[in-house]
Amino acid sequence: MQVRMLSALWAGKITVKLARLAGGKGSSFPGKVALYLFPQALEAWAQKLNSRIIVVTGTNGKTTTNNMLASIFSSLGYRVLTNREGANLASGLASAFIRSASWKGNLSCDWALLEVDEAAFSKVTAHLKPAVVVVTNFFRDQLDRYGELDRTVSLVKEALSQLPPTKLVLNADDPLVVKLADTSHPVLFYGIGVPVRAGKEEESCREARFCPYCGRELQYQYYHYSQLGAYYCPGCGFARPPTQVEALAVRILDGHVSCQVRVGDQVVDCELPTLGFYNVYNALAVFGVGMWLGLSPEVIARELGRYVPATGRLQRFVHRGRPVYLNLVKNPAGFNETLRLLSMSSETKDVFIALNDNEADGRDVSWIWDVDLENLLPRSTVLSFVCSGRRAADMAVRLRYAGVPLGKIEVLPRLEDGVRTTLGGRGKSVYFLATYSALWPVEKLLRRYGKEERDADRLPSLS
C-alpha cells in the first residue's frame, strides 16, 4: 500500500510540474492521475492529518468562505493545505494534497481547509472524515449534472449522517440547509438577524417555497435574497432556528459592506472591504468555524478586513485608468446578486458576459432564463453588452427578451475578441461576467491587457 501511495504521489507531482510548464495550474489533473493509480489516496492522506480537516460545501460562497478561512489560519501561524483555486472535486482535493506533500509522502501542514462540490460531497467526505463541515446554501445549479435540488440536499444529509462525530456550521437563513440539522451532529447556526434591503424581493428564483416537513408554503418576516431570510411554516411550526453567530446590523455604502456580528455573547465590528451584500454570509460562516475552534472573534474580524480574493471573485484589474472587475456567474441566484451589485453604481459601465456549456459549466444553459434581468438590469448606466463564449448567441437572445436594445448588444463568440472589444468601450468601469470554463481564459486575457490590483479593493465573492 505504501509503495502504491508513493507511486501515485510521485506521478501526481510530476504531472503538476508538467502542467505548469505547459502554462496550466495543475489544480485538478495531477489528482486525477494519482487517484487512477491509487484510488484510496485521499483517505490515506487524510489519515495523516488526524481529522484536522474543515470542509466547506454548498452552492454559492464555497471558494470565498474557504479562502477566508485559509487566510485567517495562515495569519495565526498554522500551516494550511487548501484547494485555493476552487478545484473542488475529488481530483482537485487530491491535487491539493499532492502539492503539500513531500516526495516521501509527509504532509507539511497543520490543517486541511477544503471546499467540496456539493454533488461530490458524499463520496469525498467518506474518505476525509472532517472535524468541521460548513454548509453555505443550496440553489439550483447545473440541473443536467446535479438533478433536482431536493436530491442534492438529501445526498448531503445522508453523507453527514454516516460521518463520525463532526461539528456543523449551517446557514440558518436557508430552510434547505437547516434540514441538515436532523443529523446527530452538534450544530452551530449563523445568519443575518435584521432586514437589510427595502422593497419587495423578486420571487423568480426562490428555491424553497414550501416547508420541507409538511409541504405548506413558507411565510417570511423578511428575506435577503432567493429563499434566504426569516421564514416560518404556518402549518407545522418549522422556522428559522436561533443563531449562535448573527449579523446584528449591516451597512452597505457604494456596495462595500460593514456589519456588527454577535459571536455567542460577544459583539464585534467587522469591516469587509468588499463589494456585495452576500459576502456577509461568507464572513459569518468563518466566525462560526472560529467559534467551534475557540478562535478570537476580534482576530477573525481583523483578518477578514485584509482578505484578498481568489480568481474571478470580483477580482479587480485596471485598464487605462478604469476599474475592471471579473466575476464568476453560474446560477440564477448568483447572477441576480451580481446584477444588484452593478445597479449600486451610478457611473457608466460596459458589461461582458461569457456563457459556455462545457462539462464544468453544465450543458443546459436554460438557467439564464431564470435570471431576473427584467427587474435587476441597470439599463441606463450600461453602455454596451458583449456576449461571448460557446453560447454567446443564447445570452444575446436572453438580453433582447429582457428589453435590451439591439444596438447595445454585440455577439463575439471568441473570448479574446470579446475581451478586447469590451475593454475598448466608453464606460467609466468594466465588468466581466463568466461561467466557470471561461473564467480562467478571461482572467489570463485581462492580465495581458491590464494590471491586477492586489491591494486596492479586496473583493471576495458569492462563489
455's enclosing H/E stretch is none
Domain limit, last residue, from 248, 272, 304: 304
- Last residue in a domain, options 280, 304, 328: 304
**Which residues participate in the annotated binding site?**
211, 214, 233, 236
Work out the pLDDT band at 458, boundaries 50, 70, 90. very low
Asked, for residue 22, whether it belongs to a domain, the answer is: yes
What pLDDT is attached to residue 301?
Answer: 96
Assess whether pLDDT exceeds 70 at residue 146: no
CA distance 349 to 342: 9
Write out pLDDT tens, residues 80-105: 999 987 888 999 999 999 998 989 88
Annotated binding site for Zn(2+): 211, 214, 233, 236
Which of these three, 278, 304, 330, is where a domain ends?
304
In a domain, 141, yes or no: yes
Predicted pLDDT of residue 380:
87
Report yes or no on 461 lying in a domain. no
Q: Assess whether 110 and 49 both reside in one domain.
A: yes
Same structural domain, 273 and 343:
no
**In 10 A of CB 209, how many CB atoms?**
12
Judgement on whether residues 300 and 317 belong to the same structural domain of the protein: no
Supply 228's cell numbers: 434566504
Cα–Cα nearest to 257, from 225, 281, 285, 224: 281
Range of the domain at 149: 2-304
Residues 133 and 39 reside in one and the same domain: yes
* CA separation for the pair 46, 339 (Å, rounded): 40
On the CB side of 84, CA atoms within 13 Å amount to 16
| Angle, alpha carbons 67-71-76 (nearest 5°) | 145
Enter the pTM of the model. Answer: 0.87
Same domain, 253 and 113: yes
Q: Is residue 318 part of a domain?
A: yes
pLDDT the model gives residue 203: 52
CB within 8 Å of 102: residues ≥ 6 apart: 108
Mean pLDDT of 232-237: 95
Q: What is the pLDDT of residues 279-288, one digit of tens each?
A: 999 999 999 9
Clarify whether residues 280 and 352 are in a common domain. no
Lowest mean pLDDT among 123-132, 160-169, 405-414, 452-461: 452-461
CATH number at residue 251: 3.40.1190.10
d(CA 101, CA 442): 31
Could you give the count of Cα atoms lying within 13 Å of 325 in the half-sphere of its Cβ?
29
In whole angstroms, give the CA distance from residue 281 to residue 136.
8
- Are both 115 and 248 inside the same structural domain? yes
Query: How many domains does the chain fold into?
Result: 2
Residue 323 shares a structural domain with residue 298: no
Could you tell me the pLDDT band of residue 278, with boundaries at 50, 70 and 90?
confident
Say yes or no: 105 and 126 in one domain: yes
3-state helix, strand, coil split of the chain in percent (to 5) is: 40, 25, 40
| Residue whose C-alpha cell is 449522517 | 161
Residue 463 lies in a domain: no
Residues recognised as catalytic: 364
269 and 358, same structural domain?
A: no
Rounded Cα distance between 377 and 372, Å, is 8
Residue 92 lies in a domain: yes
